[in-house]
Structure 1
Amino acid sequence: MTYGMQKRKPALIIGRQPVMEALRSGQLIERIFLQRNAGGPAVQELLQLADEQQVPVNRVPAEKLNSMSGAYRRPGTVNHQGCIAIGGLVRYLDLQDVISHVVEQGKVPLFLLLDAITDVRNIGAIARSAVCCGAQALILPDKGVAPLNEEAVKSSAGAFAKIAVCRVDSLLKAVDLLHLNGISVAASEMKADAPLHKCDLRMPVAVIMGSEDKGVHPSLLKATDIVFKIPMAGDFESFNVSVAAGIILYEAMKQRME
């Protein structure tokens, strides 16, 4: 399985036809912004191509598109025509394909699900720790998470080229798919009884990392199989999410090495 990461900076793709051509050619696209009232056969084809390639589409007002394209407008360039895409730096893979690939390699799945983590540097740091500790995949929702832009890639120190990244339309659906494949789902919760080091992380497991302000969403927490806490020496709020991810991943690696 090949993990893809562009070395060039992402660029805006302006205009309906250029976006269509980019989709047809398999160019990496992070997100598409489509004018709210746009319709017709061409738009339907664009939406179908975007769905097939798991590219999120945001319906936005024309003012948003005007603002995005204004700084890039040059003599001779086309109007945005109700459609602008942001070129991507990371190639997203299908979650089931990644699960199958990891199992076929004889490895024990160790995945991370990122819930509402909006700081790009945190995502980059999490990716770096994931690769260092032997995790095979990051699972991201298509909304409510920081984009994998140049800053995220830089923060990862190249980790995105060495780990599978899956983008899903629902983390709850992803949890269901993980369960169907015999992968347990765990989450950190400050009020949990079991400390991290008492949990068995040698089995196939996916760990949900929640936002620092709200933690793991209650609906996701309800769907987990294992809930643990990271013990702390002092009375302080919590670890930074990327630090917490590193602690959890290191504990999983330590258990698996033993």
Structure 2
Amino acid sequence: MKDFRKKQQRPKKSSLVYGRQAVIQALEQGEALDRIYLDQKLNDPVAGEIRRLAAAKLVPVNYVPVARLAHFNVEGHEGVVAQKSKIIYQNLQDIISFVIERGEVPLFLILDGITDVRNIGGIARTAWCCGVQAIIIPDKGVGALNDDAILTSAGALEKIPVCRVNSLMKAVDELHLNGVTVFASAMEAAIPVATADLRIPAAIVMGSEEKGIYPALLKICDTAISIPMYNQFESLNVSVATGMILYEAMKQRMPA
């Protein structure tokens, strides 16, 4: 049977930084990096410095076999390859403060465990159209915001601020400290989305279609909401479900 799945494209060399000193320099200069691929066997002071700088800049590090680095088809990588990002990630507290100072009611979107870049692109497109002021993603366990994601978003990912955090649970705590109510989308929730008050400062958490929201994260959310379905099914596509919830939020917030 023919496999119609799209093959993964090798990143363009122009989108890569490789070699230990080149990657260290990129980190020190604050260049936007999507993630770093590091030979899992490297355990010397230079590799340690890369790890330290990456942690400080919230750049994810993937520890991979050296054979994985060969996929990038670059010479002289010295066991480390970084992929540039077209997205300039923002600080969550700075975004919260900026939104409040403009006199707007916060509406944020949190993505937990969503790995399909086409879904992420579609979500970003809808989020921008519905007035979401920022998308919050974890530094691990989420699809790369690469060219495919940007293309699927029709450029929305280059318009809407994206905050990358090392812990979604800490991000929820930060939102709570700023008076933002966190809603979790869950199929089993008893509260239909249309009855939830989304006019208040709000953040909405969307989980993956397969696993939903991480249980510990779901537990610290304020309210779980669901989308009623005429015919019961395992789950809605996460991009479609996000659109339904964000449309409801936008409808509630629009002037009468």
TM-score normalized with structure 1 length: 0.89
Deviation at 1:47, TM superposition (A): 2.7
Give the number of the structure with larger relative contact order, counting CA–CA contacts within 8 Å between residues 6 or more apart: 1
Deviation at 1:10, TM superposition (A): 6.1
Deviation at 1:35, TM superposition (A): 2.1
CA displacement 1:183-223 (0-9 Å, x = unmatched): 11101222211111000000011111010111111111111
Runs of 4+ in 1 over 4 A off after TM superposition: none
Partner of 2:74: 72
Partner of 1:211: 208
Determine the C-alpha separation between the residues in 2 that align with 1:72 and 1:84.
Answer: 9
Contact conserved, 1:109 with 1:183, CA < 8 A, in 2? yes
Equivalenced residue count is: 244
Determine the C-alpha separation between the residues in 1 that align with 2:123 and 2:198.
Answer: 18
Identity %: 55
Long gaps (5+) in structure 1: 1-7, 74-78
Deviation at 1:141, TM superposition (A): 0.7
Q: What secondary structure is seen at the aligned counterpart in 1 of 2:191? A: coil
Please, which of 145, 148, 158 is the counterpart of residue 145 of structure 2? 148
Please, which of 24, 27, 49 is the counterpart of residue 31 of structure 2? 27
| Residues 122-131 or 47-56, more deviating | 47-56
Determine the C-alpha separation between the residues in 1 that align with 2:13 and 2:250.
Answer: 33
Deviation at 1:45, TM superposition (A): 3.2
Determine the C-alpha separation between the residues in 1 that align with 2:52 and 2:115.
Answer: 28
Contact conserved, 2:17 with 2:83, CA < 8 A, in 1? yes
Please, which of 38, 52, 76 is the counterpart of residue 42 of structure 2? 38
Partner of 1:243: 240
Partner of 1:162: 159
Please, which of 189, 194, 198 is the counterpart of residue 191 of structure 2? 194
CA displacement 1:204-246 (0-9 Å, x = unmatched): 1111101011111111111111111101122222221001111
Determine the C-alpha separation between the residues in 1 that align with 2:58 and 2:90.
Answer: 9
Long gaps (5+) in structure 2: 1-11
